Amino acid sequence: MTQASVMSMPEFAYSDLLPVGADPTEYRLLTAEGVSTVEVDGHTLLKVEPEAIQLLTREAMRDISHYLRTEHLEQLALILEDPEASPNDVFVATELLRNANIAAAGVLPMCQDTGTAIVMGKKGDQVVIEWKHLYGELRTGGSSPVRPLLLLKKIDQAEAKKLRD
C-alpha cells in the first residue's frame, strides 16, 4: 500500500458485538414451582427441577414461534409511516405484520424460511440441575407441533467410537 492509500483509510473503531447494558425486555413469571435454593458447604445454590426447565423450554419455543417483541412490531409499524420508505419497504413491513398477526393466534408459527428456532440456556456454577434430564426428558418440553426439533443426545466416548466404526 502506498502512504496516500493508508492515510485515506478510515480509523478502526471497536464496538462490542453484543454489548451489555440495560435490558428493556418485559419478562413474565411462568411459575415459582420447581425452583429453590439449597445450602452446600456454606454456599447457597439455586436448584432447578427438570419440570421447570421443560416448562421454560416449551413456553420459549411457543413464544419465539408465534410472537414478535413489541419493539420489533413498533419498528415495522414505523416503516409504514415513513415518507422515505420505498414501496418495497412498505410491502415487506406489511407482510411481516400480517404474518405476525396470523402467528399470534397460536396455530401457525411465524414464517419458517429463515431457519428453525432454537432455545439455548446457560447454567452458572451456582445452579444445580439434574443433567440426565437435559439429554432425555427435556424433549417433551421442546418439541414443536409444526416442525419437530432435532435434539442432540449426549454420547459418551464408547458410543461415539461405535458410531465411527
Give the tens place of pLDDT for each residue, 99-155. Answer: 999 989 888 888 666 666 677 777 888 888 876 655 554 554 444 433 333 333 333
In 3D space, the residue among 68, 32, 63, 66 whose CA is nearest the CA of residue 48 turns out to be 32
Over 80: is that where the pLDDT of 66 sits? yes
Question: Is residue 3 a part of any domain in this protein?
Answer: no
With beta carbons less than 8 A apart as the criterion, state whether 60 and 119 touch. yes
| Packing angle, helices 70-81 and 87-103, rounded to 10 | 150
User: pTM for the full model?
Assistant: 0.59
- Examine the domain organization and report whether 76 and 99 are in the same domain: yes
For residues 46-57, average pLDDT: 87
Question: What count of other Cβ atoms lies within 10 Å of the Cβ of residue 112?
Answer: 13
Question: Is residue 163 a part of any domain in this protein?
Answer: no
Question: Is residue 115 a part of any domain in this protein?
Answer: no
Write down how long the chain is. 165
Question: Is residue 42 a part of any domain in this protein?
Answer: yes
Considering the chain, what is the average pLDDT of its residues? 76
pLDDT for 101 equals 92
pLDDT for 75 equals 94
Question: Is residue 119 a part of any domain in this protein?
Answer: no
User: Domain range for residue 74?
Assistant: 69-103
Whole-number Cα distances in Å, 19 to 13, 95, 121:
15, 31, 19
- Examine the domain organization and report whether 56 and 38 are in the same domain: yes
- Examine the domain organization and report whether 63 and 73 are in the same domain: no
Q: How many helices (H) and strands (E) does the chain have?
A: 7, 3
Whole-number Cα distances in Å, 162 to 9, 30, 155, 158:
55, 42, 10, 6
d(CA 113, CA 108): 13
For residues 25-52, average pLDDT: 90
